[in-house]
A and B are shown apart, each in its own frame.
Chain A
Amino acid sequence: MFFARFSDVILGAVLSAGTLFMLFVIVPISVQVPKSNKVLALSPDFWIKIILWFMLLLGVQLLYQGLKTAKELLADEEIAAIEDAKTHHHPMGRSVFMVMVAITNLFVYFFLIDWLGMVIASIISVITFALLCGERRIKIILPIAVILPIGLYYFFLKVAHIPMPLGIFE
C-alpha cells in the first residue's frame, strides 16, 4: 500500500535528483565539446541537455503530482490492482528476497560463463532457475537443461559460425 501511494513521489524525487546529477556532473565530465563548435545546436551535448531538461521537468511534475495525491484515497482500480498483486505475489519481504536471489543468480550465471563456458553455465543455471521457480520434476528439468544449451551451442557454432565461450574447457 505504501509503495502504491508513494510511487509517484519516489520516482519523481529519484528522477529529478538523477537528472540534476547527470546535467551538472556526468555530462560536463563525459561529453567532449570541441572548441571549434560555434553553433550551439550542433554541439555534441546539445541534444543530451535538451533530453535531460525535459526529464527534469517530468520528474518535478511527477513529484508535485505525487505529493498532491499521496494523501488522497486510492482509486478503486488501484486498490483492485494491489489486491490482485497480493493474490498472485509473495508478501513484500519474501518478494524482495526472491528478487535479490534472482538478480544474484543472473550475475552468478554471468561469472560462470566466464569460468566454465556457455554450455556448462547454462546447464547449471537452467536447473537452478527451474528449482527456484518451484519446479520439482527433475526428470523433465534435466533433459531440457542438457539438450537446450548443447543444441544452441552447436547451432551457433556450426550453422551461424559464432563460437561460444567454453571457459576453462577452451
Chain B
Amino acid sequence: MVENLGIAFQLFATMDNVIMLFIGVVVGCTVGAIPGMTATMGVALTLPFTFYLPPVTGILLLIGVYKGGIYGGSIPAILIKTPGTPAAACTVLDGFPLAQKGHANKALHMALYSSCFADFVSNIALIFFAGFIASFALRFGPPEFFALILFSLTIIAGVAGDNLARGLISACFGLLLATIGLDLIYGTERMIFGEPELMGGIKFIPVLIGLFALPEIIDHYTRKLETHKRFAGLGDEGVTMAEWKRCFKSVVRGSFIGVIMGAIPGIGGAPSAFLSYSEAKRTSKVSENFGKGELEGIAAAESGNNGVCGATMIPLLALGVPGDVITAVILGAFMIHGLQPGPILFEQNITIVYAIFMGIMLSSIYLLVVGKVGIKLFAQVSDVPNSFLYPIVLVLCVFGAYAVGNTMFDLIVMFVMGLVGYFMLKFKIPAAPFLIAFILGPLLEDSFRQSLQLSRGSFDIFVRNPMCWVFLAMTVISIAMVIRRNIKLKKDKELKAMLLE
C-alpha cells in the first residue's frame, strides 16, 4: 500500500500533471461561464487534446475541465440569470436577485466557497468508497457484469428527461450504432458495407463531438439575433466570516446530499442542487428570504451541485459504470488511453488510480484559487456573444475529430452525427442516453455473450449467482419506479387538464 502510494506520488508529482490540471480548471471555469456551452461540451472538446498526453495527465486535464465547468456554470447564473450548465439552474433563484441588489461579488464568492467545500467532501467520499466497492466487485464474472451493466442502463431513465419513450429510442440508436464493426466472437462483418474504416467500429470521439457540439451550432442559425445580456457590475463586497458561518450548515448538508445523489447513477447535479436548496429553505430561520437573494440559498444550491462531482466518479472508477453523461465521456477517455475503469483497474493499475486521486484532491484547491483570482475575468467571459463562439467551437470540433485517427472518415462521422443530433434536438430526443448506451452497449453485449459461452448457451448462468439476483432485482425495481413516475406524471397532467376545463 505505502509502496504503491509512493509510486503513485511519483507518477502524479510531475510538472505536466500539475500544469495540465490547472489548465483544465481554468478551461472548465471559462467554458462553464459561457452561456450555451456546457461542461459536457467542454470535456468533449478537450478530449482530443489529451491523445498525446500520458493517461494520468490526460484524465486529470479532463477532470479539471469537469470540475471547473460545474462551478463556472454558476457565474452567468448569478450575473445574467442564464445558467452556464443545467446544474446551475437552481443558483439562479437567489444568485440573480442578489446580483440585482448590487451584491454580485458576494454571491459569486459564496458560490465559489460552497462549491470548493462540497467538491472536497465529494473527493474524500470518492477516495474512501471507490476502493471498497472495487475490491468487492473483483469477484464479479461475466454474468454479474452483464446484470450490473443492465442495471446501469436504467440510468438512462434518469437522463431521459420528461419523455421516457424518447430517451429509450435514443438509447436504442446508441446500442445499434455500437454493434457496427467486426463481430468479436466470429470475426464476421456487422453492418460494415465493405467500408474498412468501419471494421473496428465507429469511434467514440466523432460521435461525441457530433452529438453534443454540432447540433447547437446548426440550431444557432435558426435563432434571431438577440440583444446580448450584460451584467450591471460586481460590487465590492465579499463574504464575511459571519455569513459563511451562518450558511455553513446548509453547505455541509448540501455536500452530503450531493455525495449521495452523485453516487447513484443517473441523477446528476441539477436534482441534487434543488433537493439541497429545498432542504435549506425548509430548515432555515430566514426561509422567507429564499428566492429573493438569500446567500444561504446560493450556498445550498452550489454545494448540492458540486457535491456530485467526485461522487459520480465512484461508480465509474469502482465498477466502470458512468454516473452521468460527463463521466461517460471520461470513461471514453480512459478507454482511449488503454485503461478500463472498474475493479480490474484497481487490481492492475492501482498506482494510476492513486495518482488520479491525488490530482482530484489538488483540483479542489485549484478551483478555489482559480475561482478567487479569476472571478472578474470569468464574469467578462459570460459576455462573449455566440456569434463569435460557435465558429470557434466548430473549428475545435473539426481539428479534434480529425486528430482521433488522422482520417477524413472521422470527420464524415462527426458531420453525420451532428445532423442526427440536430434532428434529435428538434424531435426532443435527448442525446445523453444515446452516448451512455453507445459506451455501455459493447460491454453489455460482450458480457452477455461471454456468459453464454461459459454456460454453453444456457440462460441459467444469469440466475445462478446471488449477486446477479441482486442486480436483476435492482433493475426491475428501477424500471418499476420509472413506470410509476411516468404514470403519476400522466395522471397529474390529466388532472390539471380536467381542473382547467
Give min CB distance, B465 to chain A, whole Å.
18
Interchain CB contact (< 8 A) of A99 among B183, B193, B422: B422
Is A101 in contact with B183, judged by CB distance below 8 angstroms? no
Residues on A with beta carbons closer than 8 Å to the beta carbon of B188: 31-34, 44
Residues on B with beta carbons closer than 8 Å to the beta carbon of A54: 168, 172
Interchain CB contact (< 8 A) of A159 among B52, B386, B449, B459: B52
Chain A CB within 10 A, most for which of B179, B183, B221, B429: B221
Q: Which of B175-214 contact A (CB under 8 A)?
A: 175-176, 179, 183, 185-186, 188-193, 214
Question: Given A31-B191, A48-B190, A160-B49, does the pair A101, B221 have CB atoms closer than 8 Å?
Answer: yes
Give min CB distance, B191 to chain A, whole Å.
5
Interchain CB contact (< 8 A) of A37 among B52, B186, B422: B186
Report 23 cross-chain contacts, Cβ distance below 8 Å, ordered by A residue. Answer: A11-B166, A37-B186, A39-B452, A41-B457, A45-B190, A58-B169, A65-B165, A76-B500, A89-B223, A102-B221, A103-B218, A113-B411, A114-B408, A122-B399, A125-B394, A133-B390, A135-B388, A149-B395, A152-B399, A153-B399, A160-B49, A162-B51, A165-B408
Q: Which residue of A lies closest to B184 (CB)?
A: A44
Is A88 in contact with B52, judged by CB distance below 8 angstroms? no
Q: Which residue of A lies closest to B445 (CB)?
A: A47
Chain B residues proximal to chain A, CB less than 8 Å: 49, 51-52, 165-166, 168-169, 172, 175-176, 179, 183, 185-186, 188-193, 214, 217-218, 220-226, 385-388, 390-392, 394-396, 398-399, 402-403, 406, 408, 411-412, 415, 418-419, 422, 427-429, 445, 448-449, 452-453, 456-457, 459, 493, 496-497, 500
Question: Given A58-B168, A134-B225, does the pair A118, B402 have CB atoms closer than 8 Å?
Answer: yes
Compute how far the CA of A37 lies from the CA of B457 in the bound complex, rounded to whole angstroms.
11
Compute how far the CA of A54 lies from the CA of B173 in the bound complex, rounded to whole angstroms.
11
Compute how far the CA of A160 lies from the CA of B390 in the bound complex, rounded to whole angstroms.
24
- Specify the main secondary structure of chain A where it touches its partner: helix
Q: Which 5 A-B pairs have the closest CB atoms?
A: A39-B457, A135-B387, A160-B52, A32-B188, A133-B387
User: What is the interface residue range for chain A against chain B?
Assistant: 35 or more
Give min CB distance, B225 to chain A, whole Å.
4
Give min CB distance, A30 to chain B, whole Å.
5
Is A52 in contact with B398, judged by CB distance below 8 angstroms? no
Is A132 in contact with B221, judged by CB distance below 8 angstroms? yes
Compute how far the CA of A39 lies from the CA of B214 in the bound complex, rounded to whole angstroms.
42
Chain A residues proximal to chain B, CB less than 8 Å: 7, 10-11, 15, 26-27, 30-34, 37-39, 41-42, 44-45, 47-48, 51-52, 54-55, 58-59, 61-62, 65, 73, 75-76, 88-90, 94-95, 98-99, 101-103, 106-107, 109-110, 113-114, 118, 122, 125-127, 129-130, 132-135, 140-141, 144-145, 148-149, 152-153, 155-156, 159-165
Compute how far the CA of A134 lies from the CA of B408 in the bound complex, rounded to whole angstroms.
29
Give min CB distance, B190 to chain A, whole Å.
5
A7-B428, A30-B192, A54-B168 given. 15 additional CB < 8 A pairs? A10-B427, A38-B457, A58-B169, A88-B224, A94-B222, A98-B221, A99-B422, A106-B214, A109-B394, A109-B398, A125-B395, A148-B395, A156-B403, A160-B49, A164-B403
Residues on A with beta carbons closer than 8 Å to the beta carbon of B429: 11
Compute how far the CA of A92 lies from the CA of B499 in the bound complex, rounded to whole angstroms.
33
Q: Which residue of B lies closest to A55 (CB)?
A: B172
Question: Given A42-B453, A98-B221, does the pair A160, B51 have CB atoms closer than 8 Å?
Answer: yes
Is B191 in contact with A30, judged by CB distance below 8 angstroms? yes
Residues on B with beta carbons closer than 8 Å to the beta carbon of A110: 408, 411-412, 415
Q: Which residue of B lies closest to A140 (CB)?
A: B388
Is A144 in contact with B165, judged by CB distance below 8 angstroms? no
Compute how far the CA of A132 lies from the CA of B388 in the bound complex, rounded to whole angstroms.
11
